[in-house]
Amino acid sequence: MKRVVLVLGFLMSWFGIAASESLSIGEKAELQAAMFHHIDQQLVDGSFLWLHASEGRVTRLAPAKAHPKILRMGDHFVLCVDFRDEQGKDVNVDFFVARSSETFVVFHTEIENRNVVRGLMKAGRITALN
């Protein structure tokens, strides 16, 4: 009987953790809206500008496709959008988002640098949401 109680307790706590890691449809929509609002605020003459500091040049990007997957990094989130450069090449952009009171805010952007997200995933710091 003790074993059954322990197993049930483990399963209940595991499902509680799993449930707390998911977001409501409304929260997912709010995250996406915050990201798109951020992108819109950064546009210069309709383009998202990417600074290549080491080369001293700027690339104009246009949003092409948002990825539906949302990643969690502790209390923060990572959302991804494919942009296109002037030659039509896809450029991956990852937006790191934090909750701020009743809304969400982008606090960091990685452009064409998936090594950051991959490294954090490999280290177990970023996980996919359900």
pLDDT digits (tens, 9 = 90+) for 83-110: 999 999 999 999 999 999 989 999 999 9
CATH number, residue 101 = 3.10.450
Averaged pLDDT score across all residues of the chain: 86
According to the model, what pLDDT value does residue 88 have? 97
Q: Which domain holds residue 77?
A: 24-128
User: CA dist 8 to 20, 32, 64, 104, Å?
Assistant: 18, 37, 47, 36
pLDDT mean over 4-33: 58
According to the model, what pLDDT value does residue 13 have? 32
According to the model, what pLDDT value does residue 21 have? 60
According to the model, what pLDDT value does residue 130 have? 66
In this prediction, residue 15 has a pLDDT band, given cuts at 50, 70 and 90, of very low
Q: Helix (H, G, I), strand (E, B), or coil: what is residue 6? A: helix
Q: Is residue 38 part of a domain?
A: yes
- Give the predicted TM-score (pTM) of the model: 0.81
According to the model, what pLDDT value does residue 3 have? 38
Q: Is residue 5 part of a domain?
A: no
Q: Is residue 31 part of a domain?
A: yes
d(CA 52, CA 58) in angstroms, rounded, equals 6
Count of domains in the chain? Answer: 1
pLDDT mean over 45-56: 96
Is-contact 106 78, C-beta < 8 A? no
